Structure 1
Amino acid sequence: MTAPGAPPSLPGPLLVRSARYAGLAGAILLAVAGYLGGALPDTPLGATPESIWRAPDGPATLTCWLVGTALLVGAWWSLRAGAPSTRWAYVTAGLWALPLLVAPPLGSRDVYSYACQGWTYAHGVDPYAVSVAAAGCPWVETVAPIWRDTPTPYGPVFVLLAALAVGLGGGLTGTVVLLRVIAVAGLLLAAYCLPGLARAAGVPTRRAAWLALAGPMVGVHLVAGAHNDAVMLGLLLCGLLIVVRRPGKPSALLLAGALLGLAVTVKASAVVVVPFAALAAVHGRHTVRALLRDGGWLAGGLLAALLVTSALSGLGFGWVGGLTHSGDSEQWTSPPTAVGFVVDYAGALVGRDPQAVPVVRAVALLLLAGVLVVLWWRAWQTLRGLNELPGPRVALHGAALALVATVALSPVFHPWYAAWPLVLLALTAARTTWFVLPAAAAAFLALPDGTNLARFTKAPGALAMTTLLVAVLLHTLRGRPRSR
């Protein structure tokens, strides 16, 4: 297997210049598409593809969007083996982000949900008990219909940040701007932590920075879309950086645990990384005693963060119950949901209505729990078998695979979810195509106004996803050697 730190050949100067300016042109076209038909407050979601196309600026919007996405994805893909330098990667990613910083919200209307959830809390209503519509948010018409009557699925830290944005923003536009500032702050924190983590994992920083920061998921969804995933990733990487730099140090591990806890109280998906962070926290040989000692300090910091933020918000742990509503959306882009759709279609052919989607989703969550246990156990056994002091790559790669499993087996998948495992895989994976390709494909799933194309391709998408899963399963069972 190719070593993760083996330096690939540097890209040629022509490819480097072409990639930089093709990506910039793509970002500009995406910003133009946003102003023509993005997720503006008064722009409703398209009911059908035809209604989007027949809008006054529909053809221009879709043309700019598709060409811009293709340029951005192509430029990112062309340098997937690594940018010419770390500095070049940072400068180029920042250059691409500039047009998207001043664009309207793109690819999703979630930022308006954030605004209404913050408004709800700021006006003394529990967002985990009352939907934004029932709370009387004045901006509820800007929220996607599916999320108007559901409680918030996010943790208390993000609710507090959203309420702060509402209090300082003075209105919907100001609130959206501040929510984008918060998302960019999370990205900057992640960008600051990337080089240290890449060096600790033995991966070229120029490759890690490029894959993690220049991808279309970052510019379109985390910058322009202002998704709170950016804040989660920033806190997550910061906690992991402290762990790998100061293993075995109680004060550092308490701080790292607190940061990981804050990440969980932004978005609960971050919790799957914590057991692997505990492995990285061990100083010296990996024994059960060392794991309980050093992992205990990490767990203490995490629990303290959960308790303090839940108490300070005055909401307690009501946010845990809100997580059950995150799967209200049913789309074939979630593999378990796609399988459930196919079972329902097969049942309909014989006059039955299996209602398989909830069942398959429940089975997938049980499978996820088992996969996470296996991944952790394999990482633990690997670390215990090393004679020398191991680097943190084993633990970090285990965390990356845990996020892959979480994304693949969750009841719902949105394009920006691909950013979770992408960042950690950029830091640890030896080969890139297997995870860069799905992330590139996911960039084409959403339209600028937030319309998800999976809504219009339910049956063929479900069949294609299920076929892909069967092919992957058969390939795995054959036991062909592949680099993990």
Structure 2
Amino acid sequence: MTAPGVPPTPPDAPSSRAALLARYAGLAGAVLLAGAGWLGGALPRATPAAGRGTGDASWTVGLWLVGTALLVGAWWALRRGAPSIRWAYLTAGLWALPLLATPPLGSRDVYSYACQGWTYAHGVDPYAVGVAGAGCPWVESVAPIWRDTPAPYGPFFVLLAAFAVTLGGSLAGTVVALRALAVAGVLLAALCLPALARAAGVPTRRAAWLVLACPLVGVHLIAGAHNDALLLGLLLPALLVLLRRPGRRGPLLLAGALLGLAVTVKATAVVVLPFAALAAVPGRPTPRALLRGVGWLAGGVLGAVAATSLLSGLGPGWIGGLTRSGDSEQWTSPPTAVGFVVDYAGRLTGRELGAVPVTRAAALLLLAVAVAALWWQAWSALRRPNDARQRVARPDAARVRLSLRGAGLALAATVVLAPVFHPWYATWPLALLAVASARTTWFVAPCAAAAFLALPDGTNLARFSKAPGALAMTALALGLAVWGLLRLRRTGAARPG
């Protein structure tokens, strides 16, 4: 029997022994990763890959791989849910402590942020010139590929980066300020997870664990100080406002403003907007109610975009910078991998096809079609009051689950079809699918695999396996495409005429 006042233990909760083992195995992994960071992380200077040339290469890679394996294994072991939501928060916080006391991990992007903020703070347009041309004194810490490219981020993030430079003063101080902003983004997302999961009928202890304890969050969003943390810290509160106060003008404007700010951090957030419109309509949606909600929501989005563009004095110039984010070519992006394979085939016949730009452009068109199809599927399901997918514990949970799941799938499609892929991109769909999906392995497993892609100094392991990686990714993409088409065909055949 359960003692009075003590909530019963969920039937699928892990045993106390398994939970403690996972907690301290993950903590050991985080400590090892922090050690790897000090030996060969993304230190504020141009460093060879993984400490090569310093005599610490083998120690760095060994600590990194063992630490990553421990952290991923501990997270995976409790993928069905932590013992309680409080336990999940405490354990994720415990794992984050060593990662807060280490140099940037897994990427040198935080130095790009610092230099872009310095550029703007010194009166130079970061969308017109690269950080090297602007004369940033910290340019040697920036990855060479990004030294001559304009900023690919929105004006709100440029303002925040400039604020971090002003507050921090030195490079080290700026990095600390940028990491504090990333932690703030993660905390904002963490505050929203229980309410979003509860509204969608998903166990809160599972949703909190999958997001906050994910190694990608600790290593890349917190230790790496990626602005994806701010993206999630704006997206999740915006969706929560919509779900709690659908159809009301004030909340619609507030949610729209938060979504607009998310777009002006990273333009990726734009794919969430159609599903936010569904969340804004209470009850069974009608075209009239949808248009009314979209109007107020769009007003908030456009107002935030216009305000940050005008306040920064940068105008719409940031949109042009988005085209340079694809300068890096790695097989971890399926469209890029397919382009590589087509080029390999062309070389066998003595021709240089230059297929990568073509496959990338085709993937972006496919992404637009996929987002539209996902939205139409969610809209159609909400319009059918007797749809089986709406038979959930609370009447309004159907709207919540379909909106959040649709947004998560749209972000997943963006990650898969984008011209480039970095491990921290997987946190975008993870945050929404964790609060809206009944089954989790299909999106948890890729996140676990992505945790092994980068070394502590930011070296991407895909660089050392270009041809075999491209062939494997292309085969995987083709296999999944065939499987998806066959499933759609079976689903269509099973529907009554």
**TM-score (norm: length of structure 2):** 0.93
Asked if structure 2 preserves the Cα contact closer than 8 Å seen for 1:45 and 1:450, the reply is no
Q: Deviations over 1:405-445 (max 9, x none)?
A: 00000000000000000110101111111111110000000
- What's 2:115 paired with? 116
- 5+ residue gaps, structure 2, are 1-9, 387-394, 492-497
Partner AA of 1:208 in structure 2: A
Partner AA of 1:438 in structure 2: P
Partner AA of 2:423 in structure 1: P
Cα distance in 2 for partners of 1:352, 1:367 equals 27
- What's 2:33 paired with? 30
The answer as to 2:201 corresponding to 1:202 is yes
The answer as to 2:425 corresponding to 1:417 is yes
**1:42 deviation in Å?**
2.4
Asked if structure 2 preserves the Cα contact closer than 8 Å seen for 1:107 and 1:448, the reply is yes
- What's 1:458 paired with? 466
Asked if structure 2 preserves the Cα contact closer than 8 Å seen for 1:45 and 1:451, the reply is no
The answer as to 2:418 corresponding to 1:442 is no
Cα distance in 2 for partners of 1:326, 1:150 equals 9
The answer as to 2:436 corresponding to 1:428 is yes
- What's 1:245 paired with? 244
**Matched-pair identity in %:** 72
- What's 1:153 paired with? 152
Asked if structure 2 preserves the Cα contact closer than 8 Å seen for 1:331 and 1:458, the reply is yes
Partner AA of 2:117 in structure 1: G
Secondary structure of 1:478's partner?
A: helix
The answer as to 2:139 corresponding to 1:140 is yes
Partner AA of 1:21 in structure 2: Y
Alignment coverage as a number of residue pairs: 472
Q: Deviations over 1:3-49 (max 9, x none)?
A: xxxx7611111210110000000000000000000000124242xx8
Q: Deviations over 1:276-319 (max 9, x none)?
A: 01000002320000001112111111110011110000000111
Cα distance in 2 for partners of 1:319, 1:8 equals 51
- What's 1:3 paired with? none
- What's 2:227 paired with? 228
The answer as to 2:332 corresponding to 1:333 is yes
- What's 2:408 paired with? 400
Cα distance in 2 for partners of 1:479, 1:300 equals 39
Secondary structure of 2:438's partner?
A: coil
- What's 1:299 paired with? 298
- What's 2:71 paired with? 72
Report runs of 4+ in structure 1 exceeding 3 Å deviation: 52-55, 387-391
- What's 2:353 paired with? 354
Cα distance in 2 for partners of 1:53, 1:140 equals 21
- What's 1:106 paired with? 105
Partner AA of 1:163 in structure 2: A
Partner AA of 1:272 in structure 2: V
**1:474 deviation in Å?**
2.1
- What's 1:88 paired with? 87
Partner AA of 2:147 in structure 1: R
Cα distance in 2 for partners of 1:259, 1:17 equals 38
Secondary structure of 2:12's partner?
A: coil
Asked if structure 2 preserves the Cα contact closer than 8 Å seen for 1:89 and 1:206, the reply is yes
Asked if structure 1 preserves the Cα contact closer than 8 Å seen for 2:130 and 2:148, the reply is yes
**1:477 deviation in Å?**
2.7
Asked if structure 1 preserves the Cα contact closer than 8 Å seen for 2:46 and 2:140, the reply is no
Secondary structure of 2:324's partner?
A: helix
Q: Deviations over 1:376-400 (max 9, x none)?
A: 1111111111266544111110000
Asked if structure 1 preserves the Cα contact closer than 8 Å seen for 2:283 and 2:399, the reply is no
Cα distance in 1 for partners of 2:483, 2:410 equals 21
Moved more, 382-391 or 228-237: 382-391
Secondary structure of 1:317's partner?
A: helix
**1:53 deviation in Å?**
5.2
Cα distance in 2 for partners of 1:97, 1:289 equals 47
The answer as to 2:29 corresponding to 1:21 is no
The answer as to 2:475 corresponding to 1:467 is yes
Asked if structure 2 preserves the Cα contact closer than 8 Å seen for 1:128 and 1:152, the reply is yes
Cα distance in 2 for partners of 1:385, 1:94 equals 42
- What's 1:4 paired with? none
Secondary structure of 1:244's partner?
A: helix
The answer as to 2:382 corresponding to 1:379 is no
Q: Deviations over 1:243-275 (max 9, x none)?
A: 000001100110000001000000000110011
Secondary structure of 1:479's partner?
A: helix
Partner AA of 1:280 in structure 2: A
Cα distance in 2 for partners of 1:43, 1:358 equals 30
Partner AA of 2:413 in structure 1: A
Secondary structure of 1:351's partner?
A: coil
- What's 1:183 paired with? 182
Partner AA of 1:158 in structure 2: F
- What's 1:9 paired with? 12
**1:479 deviation in Å?**
2.2
Secondary structure of 1:392's partner?
A: helix
Cα distance in 1 for partners of 2:48, 2:186 equals 28
Cα distance in 2 for partners of 1:75, 1:43 equals 33
**1:478 deviation in Å?**
2.7
- What's 1:262 paired with? 261
Q: Deviations over 1:138-184 (max 9, x none)?
A: 00000000000000000001000000000010100000000000000
Asked if structure 1 preserves the Cα contact closer than 8 Å seen for 2:84 and 2:205, the reply is yes
Asked if structure 2 preserves the Cα contact closer than 8 Å seen for 1:188 and 1:234, the reply is yes
Partner AA of 2:359 in structure 1: V
Secondary structure of 2:265's partner?
A: coil
Asked if structure 1 preserves the Cα contact closer than 8 Å seen for 2:242 and 2:255, the reply is yes
Cα distance in 2 for partners of 1:254, 1:41 equals 41
Asked if structure 1 preserves the Cα contact closer than 8 Å seen for 2:246 and 2:252, the reply is yes
Cα distance in 2 for partners of 1:125, 1:339 equals 38
**1:349 deviation in Å?**
0.9
Cα distance in 2 for partners of 1:183, 1:299 equals 27
Cα distance in 2 for partners of 1:303, 1:54 equals 50
Cα distance in 2 for partners of 1:294, 1:242 equals 13
Moved more, 348-357 or 107-116: 348-357
